[in-house]
A and B are shown apart, each in its own frame.
Chain A
Amino acid sequence: MLHVENLTASIGGTQILKGLDLAIGEGEVHAVMGPNGSGKSTLAHALAGREGYELSGRVTLDGADLLDLEPEERAAAGLFMGFQYPVEIPGVNNMYFLRTALNSVRKARGDDEISARDFLGLAREALELVEMKQDFLNRAVNAGFSGGEKKRNEILQMAIMQPRLAVLDETDSGLDIDALRIIASGINSLRGPERSMIVITHYQRLLDYLKPDFVHVLVDGRIVESGDHTLATHLEDHGYADFVNHDLDDVPDRSLSGAAS
């Protein structure tokens, strides 16, 4: 459903993604791991449509050419980006924001606006999913939220937006054990045959909960290795040393398990 071909991204003359290929099938969960500065967040923002990057290559989501679309059009096409650093928006009510977001996407798809009652039902389910109380919706978007609350709010938004493809950028960073469990179980319950996910992370602990279908190692702007979830265990034990400062040919012999489907 998502095809990334030879994607490059530069910012201020510095190339960060250097020809990245990735193919994601229906309902698959792919983890992208890699050392700091390898381009993980750039990949996420390039997919979501952040301004300021010079991009080349081709990215299609359900056949639509993603790089030609504005961020809001990508959301309407079914993309959801979970931010590593969710932005605080003082004065904008969380509930109003969520309804505006959902209705914007529905409008763009030619659907009617959701009724206040149906939305409330949807919001209640989403709240339960991330174990938050109703007053969470009455606060301003992320303003004064703790790190854990911000990340829960991202998953809450994902639950309401019901995307085709979720790109979760270090959703596990800065979480304590309990919050991590809640986030992971939220993500797990949003998995389904019609929803794919790219989970960007530094650590294995989130992946222990999620058991991704595929794990990719991103080093210096390229995917240098792909495998099943055991690759994450290997990384946890050995770090990225096997993959850093080596050419692809030097990577230890591991079976590539069909990630490029």
Chain B
Amino acid sequence: MTVGTPATAEAARAPVHAGSNVEAIVYPTRRDEAWRYAPHADLGRLTFGRPADSPGDAPLGIEGRAPVIEGLRIVVVDGRFDPLRSDLADLPEGLELLPLATAIEERPDDVAAHFAADPNEPDAFVSLNRLNGRDGAFVRVDEGCRLEQPIHLVDISTSRPDGPATCTGAVIHLARGASCSIVETHLGTGSGFGGSNLRSTITLAADASLTHVVLQDVPAEQIQLTRIEVHVAESSHFRARAFNLGASYGRLDYRVELIGEGAMADLAGLYAGNGDQTLDQQITVIHRVADCTSRQAFRGILDDRSTGVFNGAIEVSPGADGTDAEQSNDNLLLSTRAEVNTQPRLEILADEVACKHGATVGQLDDDALYYLRSRGVPADQARQLLIAGFAEQTVDEIEIDAVRAWVAERLGHGAVDADA
């Protein structure tokens, strides 16, 4: 944000950590709709505080687990910027890319809004992130600057037995007419209980365009909370592609506000769970003004005893006429013990609004399996092909080859392209 009062800038600079304000934070319970399927006992076990010491250059054991994206990269390990693993050389003109801790020191006004307490925000984990997430990434793309190469933000939680859950922040601002792609990859190491609490605040000025990809693949023992807050100004375009794949409890929480006429938010995602995973999508898109467009298209593939949650809201403020909003949630259950909870929430306080929503839950199509097998494709491979086909709609729309390949590999499908 370009505007900040000295008071909030001071707040940003203040060395806050858990303890001083934590009493004011009230944890959610099962009665909170947005946290209904969360593992509350495990969430209560997470501790928050100053980040652990940097692991230095010791191998983290995540080699080969992140997509190989050429170019600029900020890597954060256990809540601290890691200069050894980052690459900030040769920044193109018009791009500022620096560790969040540096931005707090040098650009307090530009990060003030990220740290400003919101009295309307009851979410305890957002508050904890605000208090403890003092490092991460700061991205600013100048007016009219269009970046070709994607920027990679990597967050790694090493899950040390006595360490606190990591909190990391990203502050992303695209000035008027700017465009770029940002990939956030969330990984973890270790085999013990742990957690990470990530939060990105994104502002798009008029006519800006951002493609924002989230790849969440932390180990199945860890809790992973991702919160993404977006403000989209007039004629700007926010395009989100999210892959919620890892964690015991993987939570992906978008709050997108369309604040200028002609703004567009296009959110799509895939959650794929097995074992005892719970993968929770909490999506809120708010149409504040007239003539904005939003799309939510989320797909779930749930195996074993995994649980998928889609809680998707479209809120249309009074006066936001001409709103065009669609939402879909399609789920594939691969096991009789897998479960999905899908809930559309439409709150429409304007006239002349076009809102559509739909949800499906199904199993693999027996006819399609038979068809593939009759062509010689073995049963297991036929199943994989159908699952990949279900995921393809989300995967195919990724323009970054390395990310598409990573997702296909991670889902065990290999590439499904014709030229594979």
Contact = CB atoms under 8 A, between A and B. Distances in A.
B420 interface: yes
A87 B378 contact: no
A93 B399 CA distance: 17
Contact of B373 (A72, A83, A86, A140): A72
Given A92-B389, A140-B389, A83 B375 contact: no
A185 to B, nearest CB: 23
Chain B CB within 10 Å, residue with most, of A49, A81, A87, A102:
A87
B285 interface: no
Contacts of A83: 371, 374
A107 B418 CA distance: 19
A86 B371 CA distance: 8
A97 B367 contact: no
Nearest to A157: B375
B11 interface: no
Contacts of B368: 87-89
Contacts of A161: 375-376
Nearest to A83: B371
A95 B370 contact: no
B376 A105 contact: yes
Interface string B353-369: 00000000000011110
A101 B376 contact: yes
Contacts of A86: 371
Contacts of B392: 90-92
Contacts of A96: 416-418, 420
A72 B418 contact: no
A70 B390 contact: no
Give the contact-size bracket for chain A.
35 or more
A50 B366 CA distance: 10
B390 A91 contact: yes
B377 interface: yes
B371 A89 contact: yes
Given A70-B379, A92-B388, A104-B377, A51 B370 contact: yes
A49 B374 CA distance: 8
Contacts of B388: 91-92
B102 interface: no
Contacts of A179: none
Give the contact-size bracket for chain B.
20 to 34
Nearest to B395: A91
B182 to A, nearest CB: 26
User: From DSSP, what is the main secondary structure of chain B's interface residues?
Assistant: helix
B392 to A, nearest CB: 4
A90 B389 contact: yes
B376 A104 contact: yes
Interface string A100-120: 111011001000000010000
Contacts of B385: 89, 92, 97, 100
A72 B389 contact: no
B386 interface: yes
Given A71-B370, A87-B371, A93-B418, A101 B377 contact: yes
A72 B372 CA distance: 8
B178 interface: no
Given A71-B370, A89-B386, A92-B386, A101 B375 contact: yes
Nearest to B378: A72
B269 to A, nearest CB: 16
Interface in A16-47: none
B377 A100 contact: yes
A149 to B, nearest CB: 16
Contact of A91 (B370, B389, B418): B389
Contacts of B223: none
28 contacts: A51-B366, A51-B370, A71-B374, A72-B373, A72-B376, A72-B378, A72-B382, A75-B375, A76-B376, A83-B374, A87-B368, A89-B368, A89-B385, A89-B389, A91-B390, A91-B392, A91-B396, A92-B386, A92-B388, A92-B389, A96-B418, A97-B385, A100-B381, A104-B378, A105-B375, A105-B376, A140-B389, A157-B375
Closest 8 CB pairs of A and B: A91-B389, A75-B376, A91-B392, A105-B376, A101-B375, A71-B373, A92-B389, A87-B371
Given A90-B393, A92-B385, 20 more contacts: A50-B370, A70-B373, A72-B373, A81-B374, A83-B371, A83-B374, A87-B367, A87-B370, A88-B368, A90-B390, A91-B396, A93-B416, A96-B416, A96-B420, A100-B381, A100-B385, A101-B375, A104-B377, A108-B376, A140-B389
